[in-house]
Each structure stands twice: as C-alpha cells, then as structure tokens.
Chains A and B, each alone.
Chain A
C-alpha cells in the first residue's frame, strides 16, 4: 500500500485538471493576447478560470491576478503593496510563523528601510490579537498574516484581524497568505476586510507553477514584472493558459461537496491523532484536532529524529515531511515551531502529516500499523 501524507507540500493533479491542461497545450494552444481566433479560444480559458475563482471568493473577475504561484503572489502583495503605499506610511506588521515566501520579502523591505513589527504567537501557534492591537499605528500600511500555518495547521483569526485593522487603521492593506487555507475554508475577502490574498494551485490538485493573488479593486499595488503589459499591466508575461485553466478546474472541484470533503479530512486527521495518542512519547502539536486546519497534523515522536522516521516510513511507501533536519550540519530549526516555544530537541523530532481528500482510512490505519512496528526499533537506536 502507498500512503501519500505530504499534501501540504504538494498534491496530485485531478484527472479533470490533467485533461484541460493537455487540451490547452495540444488544441487550444494559442496566445491569449493574439488577435486571431486561436488567441480568442485560449483567452476564454483564462476568463473562465478568473470567473470561477471570483465566484468562490465572492469578488469580481478583475480582482484576480494570475501569477506563477504562491511565492510570487506573496512577493507581489508585500513588495508591490509596500512600494505603492509608502507615501502613506512606513510600517509593516507580520507574524513570527510566516512561510519564507512572506518572511523573506518582509526582510527585504526591512532592508529598504521599512519598519517591521513581528507579532508573537501562543503555544498553539496562533497569532496574539492583543499584540496586533498594540502594534497597529497610524503609519501602518500593510499587515500580512497567513490563514493556515503550513507546519502546524494552526488557524489564524483572519476575520477578527481584518475587523481590527478596519477599525484602527482603515488605510492599511491586509494581506492574507491563504495558500494552505484555500480549498479547505470558505474565504470571503470583501466581508472580512482582506485586500490581498495569495493562493497556489498545486496545493489544491492543480498544476505547479501557477497561482493567483486577489487584489481588491481599491488596493494599490505596484507591479514587479514589467513587459508586454498583460493582465492590465499588473503582471507582464504571456498567460500560462494550461496552468490557469487547470487551476480553475481544481478550485471548482475543491468547492464541490465542500462540507463533506472537509468532514472527511477531519475524520482522517482524528483517526490518525487517536491512533497516535495510544503510542508512548508522541506529542500532537498545535491546536486541538477539530479547531486546527482539517488537513495538517504536526506530531513529535520524542527521541526519534524526524529525518530517520521519514526515511523509515518512506521505505514502506508512506510519505510525510520533516520540518527540520540535520542538526549536525547546522540547518536552522523551524522558526514556526521555535516561535511556539518548542525546544530544539522536540523540533528535531517533529514531522508533519498532511492529508488530501484522496486519502483513505485504510491508509491511516496502515500508517499507524507501520509506526507501531518501527517505533520501538527506532527508539532503541536513538542517539545516546
């Protein structure tokens, strides 16, 4: 049996996604900017995809900007957002548990003499609202938080954050990195006062190399990729039609039978968590199972290095991810887990199990069975 539990890293494409990707590569392969019929045919896919995504978020088509994926969306939101609004202020707020695709652009902005406040999180990995309240200032131009943490599945109260920003700093832009949340939560940027929202396609069974950034029509963002002026000049470069078409189909499918699918994910996660809780020296990190994201489970196997466990499981066709590894080569421990107050030793013992709707209970049981079999051996040979 094979059990792929690394769906937060990437997912397998849906069949229907593959079909439309092939179709737009082989039949409707035109350049959407071309004036002839081939161009018009190709453009139809891009428009259709924008419409699908806009409907899901309850926004307008024009507020969807296609990018090369989550990292580009985050870079554009942060750097483009900060540069376009620097006349209104100089202050940016983010959290201590962001993905590198947010924290690195923020670090870049800090070098460009923007002032940055980094909000702490509690031991469950959730950003502290009181800290945000204190951090918001008249010169705050941009707040960026994720919605679901990629390592722990902690869910940030984005609705409350949006409301707080609206109340205290109505001019500030609110960017949400929803890369792990889109497809697992219903997200309504307009209602929640979110101005910028990043999404990646390959986390929701779409193709890699594509994603989008929702940009509220009133938000000012400076484009970073200049050229032929595609997408109203906001992001030049020939549209990635196969990717965009695939993303549209994937998103549509994620929100079909949505509640059932989310429930299925929670049941998988619960079953795994329950099985794990019967094993000694296992700690489940982050929020309580039903409060955290439906698809991410962070687990520490005390005394066992995550990388070793990962390879052991891999040998049995079970795929998980290790947040951090190789302490002997000074690779840095996970910033997210550190920010939650976890010891370096425990961080080294932490793996992430992440589900998709394609996973089954049999796979969960198989994983638990293998864990029960291999853990005693691994524990015996832990570093003394």
Chain B
C-alpha cells in the first residue's frame, strides 16, 4: 500500500491555549529539519488544527517514519491514503479497498469515524460513517461494529480529497525542541550523560554540550566517541554546539596542589564552573548532568551538594533516581549504548584515587581550593580561551 501523507498527532501542545501556534510552528520546523535528511521533497502543512506531511511520489517509507519518530512533540504518526473525491459510491469502493489492503481478512471490531472539513459535502458525517460501516461489513463478514471500544478505528476525512487512515505509529512524545529554551549538557562519553541530554531535550529544550578533554591522558578517539554520541543525541535534539575544553593543565594543577582523595570532587567543581561559563555565554538557562545518586563516589548526596555549590544556574539531573540498568535500557532505546561502552578513558577516571572521599566536607574542600589560588585563574582563562567548538548535526 502506498501512503501519500502522514497525519501527525500531537497531544500536549494542543492544550497550550494562546501559545498554541508557537508550539505548532516549532513542531513544523523540527519536522522539516528531520525530513530534510530523507531523500525527496516533503511538504509539512498546518491546516485546520492538524499537521500533515505530504510525501513525494517516490520516497522511502521506513526512513520517513523513523525520521518523524525522532521528532519530539509527535505522539502519533498516521500513514494516510488520499483518494480523489469522485462521489460517495467511489469513496465507498476506495474505503473497502483500503481495508482489504491494510487489514486483509479483518475479523475484529471496528468503527468508522468521519470528519467533514468540507462542510458543503452533501451527506453528514454520521451518515457517511454508518454507510461506510455497512459496506465494510458486507465485505468482511467476520468483522463487527463497536462504536465505543473498537479494536480498529477507520478515520475518513472529507476535504477537497478523501483522506483515509487507521494506523497510528508511536511517536517520541514530549515537546518540540525550541519551545522551552536551551541548556548545557555535560557530556562525558559514558552511558548516563547522553540519556540525560535526551530526556531534557524531550521536554522541548535545545541542547548545547561541553566535553572535557585531557590529552595526552585521553585520546583523540575518546573525543571522537563524544562527537559520535552528540551526533546520536542530535538526531532527536537537533544540532548541538559541542564545546571541547582542554582540561589537562587544570587537572594536573589540582593533582599537584590538593589532597588526592578530593581530586575528583574539586575537578568536578571546576568542570561545573567552566560549563556554567559557556552556558551563560550561549544563553542557556540551566546545566544538565547524567548524575544518579550513589552511582560513584562523586555522586553521593554530599558530593552532589559540593559540586552543585559552585553553580548559580539550576542543574538538571534527569536520571537522578534511575538505577544503572534503567539508564542502560534508555541508552539502548535511543541508540547511544554501543558508542558509550567503547573502551576509551575519560578524564574523570585517569587520576582517580583508590579511595576518593564519598562524604566531602564543604569547609575542607574550600580550604583545599585555596591552595589553587596562585595559578587557577590563569589556567581557567586559558581553558576558556582555547575551547574548540564543534557543530554537531
């Protein structure tokens, strides 16, 4: 069966009152971005409270559906067959042939739901539904009509042409990117942070990212891995501006000056400071991390409090209550897992102490950080100035 169009269902954004058009426009924009990667000219059209994608004559159905499934804000994707309006008799034939094609030998319950966008159509919606239901029953003797809880709803929309659909493919849900501002993701190369980025992006937030690179302790391949992860997240979130910060000198300086068991905490405090700098610079409204309580020493409540203290922007931690396995499952679903588990060290693990503090005392941390006073400002400045920006699409 060849589908000529897709009807896009969106739930949440339909209830946003006067702001509705903002959300719809954002959704159309994101759909256009997603479809631009599929071969062929697609037309995304907003008409009478619905969004349609009109397909070119030749196109790859699976690829198109997959692209649409990556767009946040879409709840369902209904493949539509469009017939010319050549009178009711022809419409009835078309609808029956649609049923034969899409649901051969159908034997469950169904109902026909008709909507007349063209109010001048001579027969009312109710009458059309009833008549079409009858014609279908004639052809499918084992099927039955149930108008309350049908297994199958066959929708017929009468416009300048006749639109018929009955399937709904699940969309990504959430809200369209760009409707809820922008936030800065601390992307590490592990399993958690890409999932965290995905989850925030799903709520309509545009994502930028920062990665801490520590050559020669971390390799070019580790950096490439992070770019690959950003690419995968960008399939959902749209383009990501990735900031690659050379963190080596700061890390070594902390290593030289501070107690070793506090290294990770102090390091993470500096990472947050740097991330916040770039966040503010690019007008982000928050930071995003993949932290989950108790997963490692730096993610106990005490440690989280210690790293959180240096930030003025809110820090969003969408996987905070997830078990590792739950995060792994999500990363499978969004397609980042296989990249995440490639064995390249990130800069968090290279100098990690055998027994890092798990309950850092803020006063102690502050005192340790005073030992960095001599050079840290200069090192921070250099790190900020030498940032490498990669536009990931």
Q: What residues make up the interface of A, taking CB atoms closer than 8 Å to B?
A: 307-312, 314-315, 326, 328-331, 381, 383-384
Contact = CB atoms under 8 A, between A and B. Distances in A.
Contact of B345 (A312, A329, A381, A384): A329
Nearest to A315: B216
Interface string B333-355: 00000000001110001110100
Contacts of B216: 308-312, 314-315
Contact of A384 (B218, B252, B344, B353): B353
Interface centre among A311, A314, A315, A326 (most CB of B within 10 A): A311
Task: Classify the interface of chain B: helix, strand, loop or mixed.
Answer: loop
Given A329-B345, A381-B252, A384-B351, 15 more contacts: A307-B219, A308-B217, A310-B216, A311-B215, A311-B216, A311-B218, A311-B220, A312-B216, A314-B216, A315-B215, A315-B216, A326-B345, A329-B343, A329-B344, A383-B350
A312 B217 CA distance: 8
B359 interface: no
A313 to B, nearest CB: 8
Contacts of A311: 215-220
B260 interface: yes
Interface string B212-231: 00011111100000000000
A307 B343 CA distance: 12
B42 interface: no
7 contacts: A311-B218, A314-B216, A328-B349, A381-B252, A381-B255, A381-B351, A384-B260
Interface in B290-349: 343-345, 349
Contacts of B260: 384
Task: Classify the interface of chain A: helix, strand, loop or mixed.
Answer: helix
Contacts of B344: 326, 329
A309 B219 CA distance: 11
Given A326-B344, A329-B345, A383 B215 contact: no
Contacts of B220: 311
Nearest to B255: A381
A328 B345 contact: yes
A380 to B, nearest CB: 8
Interface in B186-215: 215
B155 to A, nearest CB: 52
A370 B52 CA distance: 64
Nearest to B350: A383
Contacts of B350: 308, 383
A110 to B, nearest CB: 27
Contacts of A381: 252, 255, 351
Contacts of A384: 260, 351, 353
Interface in B242-285: 252, 255, 260
Nearest to A314: B216
Contacts of B343: 326, 329-331
Nearest to A309: B216
Nearest to B260: A384
Contacts of A328: 345, 349
Interface in B66-109: none
A383 B351 contact: yes
B327 to A, nearest CB: 18
A314 B351 CA distance: 21
A329 B190 CA distance: 12
A82 B204 CA distance: 62
B237 to A, nearest CB: 27
Contacts of B252: 381
Nearest to A378: B216
A312 B350 CA distance: 15
A321 to B, nearest CB: 13
A330 B341 CA distance: 12
A223 B255 CA distance: 59
Interchain residue pairs A-B with the least CB separation, the first 4: A311-B216, A329-B343, A312-B216, A326-B343
B298 to A, nearest CB: 15
A315 to B, nearest CB: 6
Nearest to B344: A326
Contacts of B217: 308, 311
Nearest to B346: A328
Contacts of A330: 343
Nearest to B261: A384
Contacts of A314: 216
A315 B246 CA distance: 14
A315 B218 CA distance: 12
A315 B217 CA distance: 12
A329 B225 CA distance: 15
B87 to A, nearest CB: 61
B354 to A, nearest CB: 8
A308 B251 CA distance: 15
A307 B260 CA distance: 22
A168 B339 CA distance: 52
Contacts of B218: 311
Nearest to A327: B345
B62 to A, nearest CB: 33
B16 to A, nearest CB: 46
A315 B220 CA distance: 11
A86 to B, nearest CB: 38
B97 to A, nearest CB: 48
Nearest to B343: A329
Contacts of A309: 216
Contacts of B351: 381, 383-384
B314 to A, nearest CB: 32
A27 B389 CA distance: 46
A316 to B, nearest CB: 10
A326 B215 CA distance: 15
